[in-house]
């Protein structure tokens, strides 16, 4: 079973707007997050098929996986075929890692998986996965205006941890967010937020496309399960557990 280990990479990059928003949220998460008000994000579906999706891939022994040590844990998740590790950014209380298709770059990409982690945020009882993604949704609506799409997919348990899924993005970039490589492009992402005993993690599977109508969003409530499946198996292990043991451990 192949595993992609993180490379030693420089700590500079042009940050994608949503990643900047997530980084800015960590201080609020550690201090307190108010319970999101009704209507903050629309619950359009749920994770009723989580176990079915996980069971469907349980015997895929050749599935590519990323194994990333983060703070005191290792996080494992699936990768599409022919993807590579991208830029790694590590701070005292935040961590991020990019994964890209082999022929795409951090400056000009159309598909990406981002792992983001917030040290200590999981200790705050109000900093739930749902609350984190509700904050991201609010920031996106403030940035993208009527171009924003924010759909909550509901709560679930993943590897024994509290988790929440969402589909969010912008049908086209606001002028303030234009950057080399994404001018004129809309962007959608499937978000999966997970809380461990200590930390909060977000897996974000993003797709960029020429500006689109909301009804034509490349990631939506109907196909989000495909992107969720692509990230499986998601596992969190204590860092002192050997990497191979974490890979071989059954998902809880």
Per residue in 9-54, pLDDT tens? 322 333 344 444 454 444 444 333 333 333 334 433 455 555 444 4
Query: Regarding predicted confidence, which is higher, 84 or 44?
Result: 84
Contacts of 103 (CB under 8 A, 6+ apart): none
What pLDDT score does 35 carry?
32
Q: Where are the domains of the chain?
A: 3-248
What pLDDT score does 185 carry?
86
Strand partners, 169: 149, 188
Per residue in 194-213, pLDDT tens? 999 899 999 999 999 998 99
Neighbours of 69 (CB within 10 A): 15
What pLDDT score does 62 carry?
52
Confidence of residue 174 (pLDDT cuts 50, 70, 90): low
What pLDDT score does 38 carry?
32
Q: How far apart are CA 123 and CA 29, in angstroms?
A: 10
Residue 54 belongs to what H/E stretch? helix 50-57
What pLDDT score does 79 carry?
92
Confidence of residue 177 (pLDDT cuts 50, 70, 90): very low
In the predicted model, what is the mean pLDDT of the chain? 78
CATH (residue range 3-248): 3.40.1000.10
Mean pLDDT of all residues in 177-197: 78
Judge contact between 16 and 109, C-beta under 8 A.
no
pTM (predicted TM-score): 0.79
Q: What share of the chain has pLDDT > 90, as a percent?
A: 53
Judge contact between 86 and 102, C-beta under 8 A.
no
Q: How far apart are CA 130 and CA 232, in angstroms?
A: 20
The closest alpha carbon to 201, from 81, 78, 74, 100, belongs to 74
């Amino acid at each position: 079973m192949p595993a992609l280990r993180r490379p030693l990479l420089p700590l500079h990059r042009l940050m994608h707007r949503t990643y900047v928003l997530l980084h800015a949220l960590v201080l609020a998460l550690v201090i307190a997050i108010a319970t999101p008000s009704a209507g903050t994000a629309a619950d359009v579906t749920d994770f009723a098929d989580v176990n079915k999706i996980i069971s469907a891939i349980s015997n895929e022994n050749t599935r590519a996986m990323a194994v990333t040590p983060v703070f005191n844990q290792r996080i494992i998740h699936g990768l599409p075929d022919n993807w590579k590790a991208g830029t790694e950014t590590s701070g005292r209380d935040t961590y991020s890692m990019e994964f890209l298709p082999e022929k795409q770059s951090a400056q000009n990409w159309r598909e990406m998986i981002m792992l983001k982690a917030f040290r200590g945020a999981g200790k705050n009882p109000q900093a739930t996965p749902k609350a984190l993604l509700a904050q991201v949704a609010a920031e996106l609506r403030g940035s993208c205006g009527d171009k924003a799409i924010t759909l909550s997919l509901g709560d679930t348990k993943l590897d024994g941890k509290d988790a929440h899924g969402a589909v969010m993005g912008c049908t086209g970039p606001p002028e303030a967010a234009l950057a080399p490589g994404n001018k004129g492009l809309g962007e959608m992402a499937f978000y999966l937020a997970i809380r461990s005993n200590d930390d909060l993690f977000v897996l974000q599977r993003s797709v960029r496309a020429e500006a689109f109508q909301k009804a034509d969003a490349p990631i939506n409530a109907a196909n989000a399960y495909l992107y969720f499946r692509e990230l499986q198996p998601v596992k969190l292990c204590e860092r002192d557990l050997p990497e191979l043991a974490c890979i071989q451990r059954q998902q809880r």
